[in-house]
């Protein structure tokens, strides 16, 4: 099929395709999502097919109003109401026990829970409102590859597989939302994101500690079980605080490895690297810029040259937003350091 590019002026046309059970990728503040009517099991099944995504990996339901949550959750707890008032619309996903039968099992992965969020993006909210239904919205990419942060990234992966993409320009956050499990007595973060634990605890008190997911257990949220964010080239991480990359580059080159680097402008210029290519994450050690550009950098380096064997990537301390950045980078690198 031909994949059409929709714009702000043609949101209503894109919404009609959603109503017809088709797939429309849409921008959020985090990454682009692959939208389908969350109440239409057949439409949602096509999302898994288009992405090549494992069917036991549950999907996040995207809402355009806070009131829509009441269609699926019998009683929204007080702590959730406080979080909604503080962080919605925004990059916080919350998991609740749902009303039995209120969502197809293909959305929940057969679980009694589901994840919900209200994106902070004008076009996403307009699309959901115009369609008149909540949307599932997993990242609009081939499963396992770096998440898309522009409409062009979506088209690179899914052109011909989906009806269209609503083009809202580059995303502003660049990493997927924080996922908070509120279906348990002591809330826990299952996936870190821009909204960090300290901000959540300031609203509802101390959070619990999430345990690693056993290999035979079904995940309650995206990004918990399967390999994610990996380009075709191998990704290696440079240890935190390492400033002289020259020795590492030279070692790889003597082994016949063609290296590109993903790091700050300062690191790129300081080391005068003889690499195949480079992509600047930020002017200085700016974790917000690095997070916003991580996926775009992995994609650009991977696609810019077939001469690249390995992408060497700057790491950050695992605190605050650095926790979310490193969560994605470790998955992209399969936990491999130089």
Chain centroid, CA 245 distance in Å: 29
Q: Are 180 and 187 in contact (CB under 8 A)?
A: yes
**113 carries a ligand binding annotation:** yes
Is the bond preceding residue 303 a cis peptide, omega within 30 degrees?
A: no
Q: Are 182 and 97 in contact (CB under 8 A)?
A: no
CA angle centred on 86, ends 84 and 90, rounded to 5°:
75
**30 carries a ligand binding annotation:** yes
Residue 206 CB: number of other CB atoms within 10 A?
Answer: 9
Largest CA distance in the chain: 62
Strands in 277-280's sheet, in edge-to-edge order, are 234-238, 310-314, 259-263, 277-280
Residue 316 CB: number of other CB atoms within 10 A?
Answer: 21
| End-to-end CA, the chain | 42
Tally helices (H) and strands (E) across the chain.
11, 14
d(CA 111, CA 209): 21
**191 carries a ligand binding annotation:** yes
CA distances in angstroms from 154 to 10, 45, 213, listed in the order given = 18, 19, 29
Residue 207 CB: number of other CB atoms within 10 A?
Answer: 16
**117 carries a ligand binding annotation:** yes
**229 carries a ligand binding annotation:** yes
**258 carries a ligand binding annotation:** no
Which sign, positive or negative, has the C-alpha torsion 68, 73, 78, 80? Answer: negative
Annotated binding site for ATP: 53, 57, 113, 139, 147, 191, 229
Annotated binding site: 30, 53, 57, 62, 113, 117, 139, 147, 177, 191, 229
Annotated binding site for L-threonine: 30, 62, 117, 177
């Amino acid at each position: 099929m031909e994949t059409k590019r929709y714009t702000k002026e043609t949101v209503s046309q894109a919404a009609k395709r959603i109503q017809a059970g088709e797939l429309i990728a849409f921008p959020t503040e985090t990454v682009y999502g692959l939208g389908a009517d969350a109440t239409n099991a057949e439409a949602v099944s096509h999302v898994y097919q288009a992405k090549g995504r494992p069917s036991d990996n549950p999907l996040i339901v995207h809402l355009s109003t806070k009131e829509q949550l009441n269609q699926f959750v019998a009683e929204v707890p007080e702590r959730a109401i406080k979080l909604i008032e503080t962080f919605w619309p925004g990059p916080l996903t919350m998991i609740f026990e749902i009303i039995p039968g209120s969502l197809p099992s293909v959305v929940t992965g057969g679980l009694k829970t589901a994840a919900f969020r209200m994106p902070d993006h004008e076009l996403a909210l307009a699309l959901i409102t115009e369609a008149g239904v909540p949307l599932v919205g997993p990242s609009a990419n081939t499963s396992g590859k770096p998440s898309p942060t522009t409409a062009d990234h979506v088209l690179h992966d899914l052109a011909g597989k989906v009806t269209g993409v609503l083009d809202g320009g580059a995303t502003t956050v660049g990493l997927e939302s924080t996922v908070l499990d509120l279906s348990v007595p002591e809330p826990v973060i299952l996936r870190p994101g821009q909204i960090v634990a300290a901000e959540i605890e300031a609203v509802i008190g101390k959070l619990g500690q999430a345990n690693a997911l056993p290999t035979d257990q079904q995940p309650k949220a995206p990004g918990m079980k399967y390999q994610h964010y990996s380009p075709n080239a191998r990704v290696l991480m440079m240890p935190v605080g390492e400033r002289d990359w020259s020795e590492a580059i030279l070692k790889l080159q003597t082994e016949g490895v063609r290296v590109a680097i993903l790091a700050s402008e300062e690191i790129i210029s300081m080391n005068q690297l003889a690499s195949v290519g480079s992509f600047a994450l930020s002017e200085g050690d700016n974790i917000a810029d690095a997070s916003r550009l991580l996926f775009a950098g992995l994609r650009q380096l991977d696609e810019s040259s077939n001469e690249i064997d390995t992408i060497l990537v700057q790491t950050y301390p695992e605190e605050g937003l650095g926790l979310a950045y490193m969560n994605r980078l470790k998955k992209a690198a399969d936990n491999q350091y130089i």
